Chains A and B, each alone.
Chain A
Amino acid sequence: MSGHNPPLSLALTFARRELRGGLKGFRVFLACLTLGVAAIAAVGSVSSALVEGLSQEGQTILGGDVDFRLVHREAGEEELQFISQGADVSQSAEMRAMAASPKTDQRTLVELKAVDALYPLYGVIALSPAMDFAAALERREGVWGTAVEPALIDRLGVDVGDMLKVGDIDVQIRSIIEREPDRVAGGFALGPRLFLSDDAMVETGLIRLGSLVNYHYRVRLPEDRRLNADVAAWVEGVRTQFPDAGWRIQDRSDSAPGVRRFVERVALFLTLVGLTALVVGGVGVGNAVNSYLDTKREVIATFKCIGAPGGFIFNVYLIQVMALALVGVAMGLVLGGITPFLVQWAIEDMLPIPARFALYPAPLVLAAGYGVLAALAFAIWPLARAREISATGLFRDLVAPTRALPRVGYIVAMVVALLALAGLAIGLADRADFAFWFIVGALLSFVILRFTATGLMALARRAPRFKSPELRLALSNLHRPGAATASVVLSLGLGLTLLVTISLIDGNLSQQINGELPDRAPSFFFVDIGPDQVEGFEAIVNGTEGVRALNRVPMLRGRVMSVSGVAAKDITPSPDVAWMLQGDRGITYAAELPAGSDLVQGEWWDATTDGGSLISLTEEMAQGFDINLGDEITVNVLGRNITAIVANTRNVDWGNVGINFIFVFSPAALQGAPHTNLATLVMDETGELDLQRAVSKAYPNITIVRVKEALEAVNKLLEDFAMAVRATSVVTLASGIIVLAGAMAAGHRRRVYDAVILKVLGATRRKILKAYIWEYALLGLGTALVAALAGTISAWLVITQVMEAPWSFLPVTLGVTVVAATLVTVSLGLIGTWNALSAKAAPVLRAQ
């Protein structure tokens, strides 16, 4: 007897023959894979387009090949001379200031940017009406010009040609900014942009000693020195020449790191959502394969009777399934691959950052990998069970059960495929910890939902005998063999859980920003109060009705240069605190422990006796940098390195939105340094606008941030973001609905048969319909309740443990989700059932 197993080529031959039967029953299979792969491919392609745009347009975004930024002080002559050798240098000064309209008597915070004649070194600034940029800013008949963003026009109710008061001068709006090439690199803006020439800036009187001004020196290197390696080498030379300059240096290779990180983080989250959609789709894949193999039981049994080994049978059907999976993946790749071009066509002009729309192979290959692994992982179980189909079913006219577990080897293969899927997602994420917890959360939700399905079926089995026959029928349909309960709960449940989680997180954040934060936050922040303006400022404030509390502290900016003798660039802190080394930070000095702080380690200094340079930092920072009491920290302030000894650490209640700093120095360290003051004011809302007007008129250089407006800006940003994120979670929901529809369709033949038998026995269509409504309503409600619970727990964990914010239970959000989910399940179920109710009895009975 020949003992060999038939070769794979024969399995391929058999698979091809089997596929002649058509792809009926694989529509859901293909739809699930296509949707999941398309979502991942689309996210990857669009984010690649954005990141590539950031990379290719680096010099335009940055405004130069290299950007040197100094805070509080201008570059010294030697520094300027060095970086100007053989290169063009464009200088600008940027700060927040107030702009007022004499016409409407309105005022607003603006992002003021004073530029020289060389600006912009790269890119073009687009104006409306179109004009030469220099002409927009030049002095004409004694009046300086300005170009402003449309938001300023809206806020102040002014137009082109109107005058504005900025600091000590009046300027005329000559043009509206349509596109500022290096806007993105500037980061988050609290107000609209307002351009002035550098000479006009001097006349405003806004730049005073200690003013929070960012001085930028953007460099355009000679063409033969613009390769990234050359730029990096040149920058290194500057760092070596001026090690203590305290400037932040960025080059074109990473022109907007904050934006890039944001794009990458959002892409990571959206990819994980897409992966969740694929996993949900995997349930549909498993169902479709199960249904297909059910129709092949006879054929499989026949193959076994005529001598096909079990492994060969597994291979035959695995080849078919994976061939179809490749079709689904290919369709998904096509959809995902063209998405960047659709985005380009639809919203390219609206994008705040440049994008290079093209075909990007890497994300497509990754999406394909995910798709193939998902298909494999979810197909193995039904395929392995098909291998165990008993041939005895061909002889006995009864259902030959194949409830046996698949063989261990197949279970291992399935687990390996799932691990590979998870491993790929985690391994390629720039925040592996985030990806890991996301996947753990999805897996836990999956397991909980699976148990929910089992629990629902058990409950239905043990339910008391209700009087209503329709309800009894519905309950028995939930737990009978072949019921779609597990499929429905899994497919709908995971997408719902994700939607509930995101909605609750968004709801809690909105509650914070719109509800609790305004109660705790001050009414105003006043920035850049000069030392000689303190008395007059406090007089205005105290003379205003409704003022409740004024808090004022000195304010400077500093950059961490070294910790315990180790240079900042050589330190690798924990990721949570790494941002501390990126750029300048606000610092202050204080004789007393600041309000809202609690000492953790060490003692607060006695300002009257401690004459040394001491520093207090937050406990979180100390742990992140592994700093102990007695260690030294060097901070560069206004070009001078100040080294202080860590005297204590504090916990800060950031939630009180008052004035708090991570670094607080002892008075001896910084009292002599030129600085301005920062103040917060709590007052009744009715008097806010009057106070703002009075302070702004008296001291045009003081920047006034009305917290209410700032919160509105943040809220708008969060709302837009939450809507986008919620929209992507709809992808997961859509995947779930496809699977749900598939599960309903798979049971359709059974439904028809059941309906016919019930009709024969005397049930009206109305009664049968009522039974189905009960069934789907119970399914939908059960699923929604569990999803609501799982989503609430997930959201609670994120809000309280990750964001460390207070939690609010939002019953309306949950209620809406539960009701909507139940309605969707009932509607989909009824769509499928309607046809079953209309089936004529005779043909069905004859066919049995």
Chain B
Amino acid sequence: MPDPIIRLDDLKLTLPSAAGEVNILRGLSLTVEEGEAVGLVGPSGSGKSTLLMVLAGLEQPTSGGVHVAGQDMGTMNEDGLALFRRDHVGIVFQSFHLVPTMTALENVAVPMELAGRADAFQRAEEELKMVGLSHRLTHYPGQLSGGEQQRVALARAVAGDPQILLADEPTGNLDGTTGDQIIELMFDLHDKRGTTLVLITHDTHLAEACDRVVRLKDGLIDSIEPGRRASKRTAAQ
């Protein structure tokens, strides 16, 4: 059996604050198999975003093991983690976070340019075509609707063929219809490429669309339940 693509062992993370130390993650252990779609739910302050940041290498745990895509994250320095993200992780944010002075095409090409790929723009064009924005290549984020911006962000996240896609409330700033379109696109890409998906959401219904739903509470895993996707797979098998 192949190793899980994500393995967290007794993960603890404490952050200083004006009121004293705050235990954000309090001994969390989790494994995620390659190609799996995991929904992370929980109330505000449960540690969902922090967990995502640990997976992305943007936060270092106070203690515990973090292994992602076969790499021990605890042994990497800051630049090493950046390069790791470039090569293995795609991130979709709630607020899109496109670079306002770059066109849609340039925004999608950025991770591949950073990786030194000669075909960065060609690949970017293909990805934008895949998300239905081939007519918006030269538009700046300010000229795109919210849904279009999030599609560009999605294209940017997957253009480098990452093993892991992290999505932090990707539909939080979108209306219902647009949000559904984004989710459909995201799952479609996940299915086609076999990318491991970790999705933070307040929407329980959306979380249940994944293979598993991991509920966090007070920095610990409260429960892990199978999602509709896993049930469908089991049924298919």
> Measuring CB to CB, which residues of chain A are less than 8 angstroms from any residue of chain B?
1-7, 10, 13, 17-21, 298-299, 301-312, 390-392, 394-396
Chain A residues within 8 Å of B85, by CB: 305-307
Chain A residues within 8 Å of B106, by CB: 17
Q: Are B97 and A395 in contact (CB-based, < 8 A)?
A: no
Chain A residues within 8 Å of B78, by CB: 309-310
B52 within 8 A of A: yes
Closest to A300 in B: B99
Chain A residues within 8 Å of B22, by CB: none
Chain B residues within 8 Å of A5, by CB: 79
Chain B residues within 8 Å of A390, by CB: 58
B23 within 8 A of A: no
**When the two chains form the complex, which single residue of A10, A13, A392 contacts B53, counting CB atoms closer than 8 Å?**
A392
13 of the cross-chain contacts (CB-CB < 8 Å) are A4-B116, A19-B101, A301-B97, A302-B97, A304-B58, A306-B91, A307-B83, A307-B84, A307-B115, A309-B83, A392-B58, A395-B52, A395-B53
Chain A residues within 8 Å of B91, by CB: 305-306
Q: Are B100 and A299 in contact (CB-based, < 8 A)?
A: yes
Chain A residues within 8 Å of B83, by CB: 1-3, 307, 309
B170 within 8 A of A: no
Q: Are A307 and B113 in contact (CB-based, < 8 A)?
A: no
Chain B, range 72-87, C-beta contacts under 8 Å to A: 78-79, 82-87
Bound CA span A394–B59, Å: 12
User: Contact mask B84-122 → A, CB, 8 Å, 1/0?
Assistant: 111110010101011111100010001101111000000
Which 3 A-B pairs have CB atoms at the shortest separation, nearest pair first? A307-B86, A309-B79, A20-B101
B173 within 8 A of A: no
Chain B residues within 8 Å of A396, by CB: 49
CB proximity of B178 to chain A, nearest CB, Å: 21
Closest to B157 in A: A306
Chain B residues within 8 Å of A1, by CB: 83-84, 87-88
Chain A residues within 8 Å of B66, by CB: none
Chain B residues within 8 Å of A19, by CB: 101
**When the two chains form the complex, which single residue of A18, A299, A302, A310 contacts B82, counting CB atoms closer than 8 Å?**
A310
User: Contact mask B23-46 → A, CB, 8 Å, 1/0?
Assistant: 000000000000000000000000
B168 within 8 A of A: yes
CB proximity of B101 to chain A, nearest CB, Å: 4
Bound CA span A394–B93, Å: 8
CB proximity of B118 to chain A, nearest CB, Å: 12
**When the two chains form the complex, which single residue of B59, B87, B99, B168 contacts A302, counting CB atoms closer than 8 Å?**
B99
Most-contacted residue by chain B among A1, A20, A396 (CB, 10 A): A1
Bound CA span A301–B85, Å: 13
**When the two chains form the complex, which single residue of B84, B110, B115, B168 contacts A395, counting CB atoms closer than 8 Å?**
B168
Q: Are A21 and B101 in contact (CB-based, < 8 A)?
A: yes
Closest to A6 in B: B114
Q: Are A308 and B102 in contact (CB-based, < 8 A)?
A: no
CB proximity of B138 to chain A, nearest CB, Å: 12
CB proximity of A148 to chain B, nearest CB, Å: 72
Bound CA span A204–B116, Å: 94
Bound CA span A21–B91, Å: 25
Bound CA span A396–B79, Å: 22
**When the two chains form the complex, which single residue of A21, A306, A392, A394 contacts B156, counting CB atoms closer than 8 Å?**
A306
B56 within 8 A of A: yes
Closest to B159 in A: A306
Q: Are A311 and B100 in contact (CB-based, < 8 A)?
A: no
Bound CA span A307–B86, Å: 4
Closest to B96 in A: A302
Chain A residues within 8 Å of B99, by CB: 17-18, 299, 302-303
Q: Are A312 and B56 in contact (CB-based, < 8 A)?
A: no
Q: Are B82 and A10 in contact (CB-based, < 8 A)?
A: no
Bound CA span A20–B59, Å: 32
Bound CA span A391–B166, Å: 14
Closest to A390 in B: B58
CB proximity of A203 to chain B, nearest CB, Å: 87
Q: Are A307 and B114 in contact (CB-based, < 8 A)?
A: yes
Chain A residues within 8 Å of B156, by CB: 306
Q: Are A304 and B82 in contact (CB-based, < 8 A)?
A: yes
Q: A304-B58, A307-B86, A309-B78 are in contact. List 8 more A-B contacts (CB 8 A).
A: A3-B83, A6-B114, A299-B99, A307-B114, A308-B82, A310-B79, A394-B95, A395-B53
Chain A residues within 8 Å of B84, by CB: 1, 307
Bound CA span A394–B88, Å: 19
**When the two chains form the complex, which single residue of B53, B79, B93, B116 contacts A2, counting CB atoms closer than 8 Å?**
B116
Asked, given contacts A2-B116, A21-B100, whether A307 binds B49 with beta carbons under 8 Å apart, the answer is no
Chain A residues within 8 Å of B88, by CB: 1
Chain A residues within 8 Å of B53, by CB: 392, 395
Closest to B71 in A: A1
Chain A residues within 8 Å of B100, by CB: 21, 299
Asked, given contacts A1-B87, A2-B83, A310-B78, whether A305 binds B101 with beta carbons under 8 Å apart, the answer is no
CB proximity of B15 to chain A, nearest CB, Å: 10
**When the two chains form the complex, which single residue of A2, A301, A305, A310 contacts B115, counting CB atoms closer than 8 Å?**
A2
Q: Are B97 and A10 in contact (CB-based, < 8 A)?
A: no
Chain B residues within 8 Å of A3, by CB: 83
CB proximity of B29 to chain A, nearest CB, Å: 22
Q: Are A6 and B113 in contact (CB-based, < 8 A)?
A: yes
Bound CA span A6–B53, Å: 24
Q: Are A308 and B114 in contact (CB-based, < 8 A)?
A: yes
Bound CA span A322–B210, Å: 49
CB proximity of A331 to chain B, nearest CB, Å: 24
CB proximity of A384 to chain B, nearest CB, Å: 14
Q: Are B58 and A311 in contact (CB-based, < 8 A)?
A: no
Closest to B200 in A: A395
Q: Are A13 and B114 in contact (CB-based, < 8 A)?
A: no
Chain B residues within 8 Å of A307, by CB: 82-87, 111, 114-115
CB proximity of B33 to chain A, nearest CB, Å: 22
Closest to B117 in A: A2
**When the two chains form the complex, which single residue of B79, B97, B101, B113 contacts A394, counting CB atoms closer than 8 Å?**
B97
Asked, given contacts A2-B87, A306-B91, A395-B168, whether A17 binds B82 with beta carbons under 8 Å apart, the answer is no
CB proximity of A303 to chain B, nearest CB, Å: 8
Most-contacted residue by chain B among A21, A303, A311, A391 (CB, 10 A): A391
Bound CA span A518–B49, Å: 82
CB proximity of A7 to chain B, nearest CB, Å: 8
Bound CA span A395–B49, Å: 7
Closest to B140 in A: A20
Bound CA span A318–B86, Å: 22
**When the two chains form the complex, which single residue of A18, A20, A301, A306 contacts B114, counting CB atoms closer than 8 Å?**
A306
CB proximity of A301 to chain B, nearest CB, Å: 8
Chain B residues within 8 Å of A308, by CB: 82, 86, 114
Bound CA span A310–B110, Å: 15
Bound CA span A617–B88, Å: 85
Chain A residues within 8 Å of B59, by CB: 392
**When the two chains form the complex, which single residue of B52, B101, B102, B116 contacts A6, counting CB atoms closer than 8 Å?**
B116
Bound CA span A306–B155, Å: 12
CB proximity of A147 to chain B, nearest CB, Å: 72
Closest to B120 in A: A10
Chain B residues within 8 Å of A298, by CB: 97
Chain B residues within 8 Å of A392, by CB: 53, 58-59
Bound CA span A305–B49, Å: 14
Chain A residues within 8 Å of B56, by CB: 305
Bound CA span A162–B82, Å: 93
Q: Are B115 and A391 in contact (CB-based, < 8 A)?
A: no
Chain B residues within 8 Å of A17, by CB: 99, 101-102, 106
Chain B residues within 8 Å of A20, by CB: 101
Most-contacted residue by chain A among B59, B87, B97, B106 (CB, 10 A): B97
Q: Are A312 and B114 in contact (CB-based, < 8 A)?
A: yes
Bound CA span A395–B156, Å: 18
Closest to A305 in B: B91
Chain B residues within 8 Å of A7, by CB: 116
CB proximity of B201 to chain A, nearest CB, Å: 14
CB proximity of B99 to chain A, nearest CB, Å: 5
Q: Are B114 and A311 in contact (CB-based, < 8 A)?
A: no
Bound CA span A17–B91, Å: 22
Q: Are B79 and A311 in contact (CB-based, < 8 A)?
A: yes
